Amino acid sequence: MPLYQYFNGEISPIDKALFQTNDLGLLRGYGLFDYFRTYNGVPFRWDDYWQRFENSAKRLKLPLSITQQETAKVLADLHALSEEPEVAFRFVLTGGYAADSVHVVKPNFLIRTEALPQDNPAGRLKGIKVLPYEYVRDLPEVKSTNYVHMVLMADQMKQQQAADLLFYKDGEVSELTRSNLFLIRDNVLITPDTNILHGVTRKVILELAQPFFEIQVRKVTYDELMNAEEVFTTSTTKWVMPIVQIGNHTVGNGQAGKKSLFLQDRFMDLVKTWGK
């Protein structure tokens, strides 16, 4: 599979070295990213992903040197070069090269073409375990490149056979390291609205659930989560992923919930016909 990348106006093979060592993304961790994929050869919810990327850039005061329309043309070219029916795209926008290691002069913009991920497909049917972790992301509405806590806890997650971390603080839950959180009680679908990244898959699930559930978008307490009938998480790679264990706590009967799987099926129906 030939993979290519775009960097500041030029397309090159994916293995070509690009960044100089005085980039603010490397020196100061000053950067953001986004990630999405195609279905039936068409980027999924492209307008939503671009809007989120653009919002993250504005919040970090990083000007974009390319428009949405121009970027769409780059994506089409990268997709064609891959010679694959489906690909994933990763945007990376950094503070760029800084002689004083502080001030932004001109951001660097990278688009990587990547093979489709395999993020625990069995977990979509059986559910996953997550570990509660007391933390709230800085600038949660920015999809920053800072995943230090996930990396720090990687060995412990592996030891405890957990797939991810569940962030909470002061008795309130927010999100997972790379995905959004939902819970179900009776026929009410609830998702946190504070200290979260506004996920595109989250938005899609809220739209798909509208005819079938009462929906509440609000603060969610840790105790409330522990008493939920079903819990699941959503992301580009996870789709709708049931959560059946939170630390030592078993959610419901310990199996993927029927309502979570129902929403998973609605999402799968949507992507099967995306772009057609």
What pLDDT does 101 receive? 95
Write out the chain's pLDDT in tens, 276 residues.
789 999 999 999 999 999 999 999 999 999 999 999 999 999 999 999 999 999 999 999 999 999 999 999 999 999 999 999 999 999 999 999 999 999 999 999 999 999 998 767 788 889 999 999 999 999 999 999 999 999 999 999 999 999 999 999 999 999 999 999 999 999 999 999 999 999 999 999 999 999 999 999 999 999 999 999 999 999 999 999 999 999 999 999 999 999 999 999 999 999 999 988
What pLDDT does 272 receive? 95
CA angle 37, 205, 199 (to 5 degrees): 55
Q: What span, in angstroms and rounded, lies between the C-alpha atoms of 202 and 237?
A: 12
For the chain, domains (ranges, CATH) are 4-114 (3.30.470.10), 123-272 (3.20.10.10)
* Tokens describing residue 111: 């688009």
Contact 249, 131 (CB under 8 A): no
Assign 194 to helix, strand or coil. Answer: coil
Q: Tell me, what DSSP letter sits at residue 42?
A: E
Contact 14, 112 (CB under 8 A): yes
Q: What span, in angstroms and rounded, lies between the C-alpha atoms of 53 and 25?
A: 16
pTM of the model: 0.95
What pLDDT does 119 receive? 65
Dihedral angle sign, alpha carbons of residues 126, 168, 223, 235: negative
Contact 94, 107 (CB under 8 A): yes
Tally of CB atoms within 10 A around 244: 22
